[in-house]
A and B are shown apart, each in its own frame.
Chain A
Amino acid sequence: MSTPRHHPLPPEAVRARPVFSTRKPRRAETTSLSMLDRVLQSVTMAVTLTAILVFALNPLTALWQSAMNSLVDTLSLNAQVISHGLHIGQTSFGMRLGVSMESPAPDKLSLMLQAVMCFGVFGMTWAVLNMPLRWGLRILCVLHALGLLMIVARGDQFPYSLLDHTRVLYDSSLIWLLLTPGLLAAGFFLVERSWLNRLVAAMLILGFEIIALPLKLILHSVLVALLSPAVIPLLFLAAGPVLDILLLAALYAWVLTWRQLKFKLR
């Protein structure tokens, strides 16, 4: 007997064999992070972004104040942007902004028109809207009608002023802005594998909220000046923190559909 011979397959036979795939796997397919690594990465990114926001609060407040002043001047509003220092202990965290406006007393015609519109919208909900939005709009109509009744009953004295409303709105928007990195870390940062996607999405959402804050305050002021202080509860309920949550959910859903962004250093 001769010595054992082991014949490797000839190259043509190897080439003729069916192969599964010759595609080079992407890096995201070959590298798999454990859940602990992902949590650590997410927490690190969230803490970093929140710290940047906290430290940038003073210049951000100054930016917002100057933007709101410019908008008030441009729109010729009879309003004033009022700022108070925001201190927690000995530490200053920028300023608390609000809009003060002396709106003239609403005339009866305006109040009647709003009441008619309220009833009209309330009646229209039977014909147009479907179930979840129908009741939401009815509640808003009832709320606005109650506000109008309160103004009529108390004689132009509304319990809330625009300054209170905008300050609370500013506070809620600021808290929401500071909570956003943490909320992203609890969900989006865990499921998204690409660090570039995470970073760009977080910057986009935070940027939207930063730009939207002064716009929202001035927009509410314009609406109150246009209609009456009776819309303040309506605005707070429909276009306040609830709208912030809805906008974040919409942006969150959008960034989740992104494909993997590619970034090349040349």
Chain B
Amino acid sequence: MSSLSLTAVWFLLLASGALLSPLWPALRQWYLPPPPSFKPDDTHHGDWDAAAHVAQRQVQESFAKLLQLAANDSVTRGAHDDGTAFMVLGAKNYLSEQLPASARHLRMQVIASRHLDIPGELVCDSLLFAQGKLNIAHNAIVKTALSRRDAAVGPRARVRQWIRAEGRIDAAEGAALMGCASAGREINVARRARFEKLMAPVLSFGRCEPLRMPAAPAHLVPMQAPGNAFIPGDGRWIIDGDMSVPAGHSVNARLVVSGSLLVGTGSRVRGDVHVMGDLVIHHDATLNGAVRCDGNMRVGECCRLAGPILVAGILTAGSQTVFGATELFSTVIASEIRIQEGCMAHGAVWAQRRGEVLAEAAPQSAPQGPQQAAPLQFQGSAHA
């Protein structure tokens, strides 16, 4: 070999490294392990549904054993991986016994193997879970709650984010269900209680009195299209301006009203309704289709609204009014909802800004009942 200086050797190494530097990332491929070959687990002979059921049953059994262990043993305390503390209560343990007398804040998750009672005026900032019933006492503030059976929210108690019960939820007078409240069977919201989003097969507001049937006349008179209506022939009436459906009449058309709409006492509208102004429905009226109202909507007593309802403004409903049906759930969405005591709904009621249950004597703006029948006229602008 030729005699070369040490500088030349260094140059050889450094220049080679610099020239080949763009190829360095490719060298990583030498060190990467080969991709693992997929070997299917043939324990269940390809029946993955059965395997999933078996795994689910095993998890449930393990969870049941854990709860049984917690029920028989004393209180267990611990922390999750993210640092969230939790406390598991047995059947004979009460949360109030585990807290100091001066405790006002509870920042740990509480998991109860049986019933769980939240003391009054306690602020809970974490998840509450009860295998049995969940009772939230007066003036307590709860962030999230989950119950495998029923849940009761006491007077002036407040749920901040969500509450879910497999059975029913009862919100007492002055309670607030902020966020989403959902139940497997029924939600009852007492008078002067506030809510945002309720979801259950049966939603009852205030005292549950037996519903009376709408006092509709024996024969409804079919209504003819008004003079300001344009009829394109596809079953729609396009009304330029306001429209009134007189008492005891029926409309067999889909209505598009650019102004306001008034539905008289005992009348029936069988099609969808789109009102760009206000919508006023007097007592004992029935609407079978969907309702979209760009203004405010006021519903009188003992009305039946079967379809979904979307209101941009304020929705006010009188007592004995029913939204949706048992066999056909509906959705009621409005910016603000004021429901009088005695109403009922099936499905979801969503107040995007505020929802409130009014006491029976409170409503003043709703259309009057049959005993105090008012002439068919608008009661002023809804935006005023």
Contact = CB atoms under 8 A, between A and B. Distances in A.
A78 to B, nearest CB: 9
Contact of A2 (B7, B20, B241, B294): B241
Contacts of A222: 4, 8, 11-12
B335 A10 contact: yes
A24 interface: no
Determine the interface band of chain A, counting residues with CB < 8 A from chain B.
35 or more
A248 to B, nearest CB: 8
A223 B258 contact: no
B347 interface: no
A9 B312 contact: yes
A1 B240 CA distance: 10
Interface string B15-27: 1101110110110
Nearest to B351: A16
B98 interface: no
Contacts of B278: 7
Contacts of A3: 241, 259
Contact of A250 (B8, B12, B26): B26
A159 interface: no
Given A76-B7, A215-B15, A12 B335 contact: yes
B22 A110 contact: no
Q: Which of A2, A10, A247 has the most CB atoms of chain B within a 10 A radius of its CB? A: A10
Contact of B4 (A7, A216, A225): A225
- The secondary-structure label for the interface of chain A is helix
Interface string B103-118: 0000000000000000
Contacts of B12: 219, 222-223, 226
Contacts of A212: 18-19
A254 interface: yes
B300 to A, nearest CB: 21
Contacts of B11: 71, 74-75, 218-219, 222
A219 B20 CA distance: 12
Contacts, number: 104
A243 B8 CA distance: 22
Interface string A177-198: 0000000000000000000000
Nearest to A249: B22
Interface string A4-16: 1111011011001
Given A2-B242, A10-B312, A76-B7, A247 B260 contact: no
B15 A219 contact: yes
Contacts of A254: 22, 25
Given A1-B242, A215-B15, A251-B22, A13 B258 contact: no
Contacts of A226: 1-2, 4, 8, 12
A163 interface: no
Q: Which of B228, B241, B335 has the most CB atoms of chain A within a 10 A radius of its CB? A: B335
A247 B20 CA distance: 7
Contact of A4 (B8, B22, B240, B353): B240
Nearest to A114: B1
Nearest to A18: B352
Contacts of B382: 7
Determine the interface band of chain B, counting residues with CB < 8 A from chain A.
35 or more
B120 to A, nearest CB: 33
Interface string B308-339: 00001100000000000000000000010000
Interface in A182-236: 208, 212, 215-216, 218-219, 222-223, 225-227
B276 interface: yes
A4 B256 CA distance: 12
Nearest to B7: A75
B295 interface: yes
B277 interface: yes
Interface in B229-243: 240-242
A5 B20 CA distance: 76
A216 B19 contact: yes
Nearest to A133: B30
A250 B335 contact: no
Contacts of B260: 5
A10 B383 contact: yes
Nearest to A250: B22
Contacts of B2: 103-104, 225-226
B102 interface: no
A6 B312 CA distance: 13
16 contacts: A1-B242, A1-B259, A2-B242, A5-B260, A6-B276, A9-B312, A13-B335, A16-B335, A75-B7, A106-B1, A219-B16, A222-B4, A226-B12, A250-B22, A250-B25, A254-B22
The 3 tightest CB contacts between A and B, nearest first, are A16-B352, A250-B22, A13-B335
Interface of A: 1-7, 9-10, 12-13, 16-17, 71, 74-77, 103-104, 106-107, 110, 208, 212, 215-216, 218-219, 222-223, 225-227, 243, 246-247, 250-251, 254
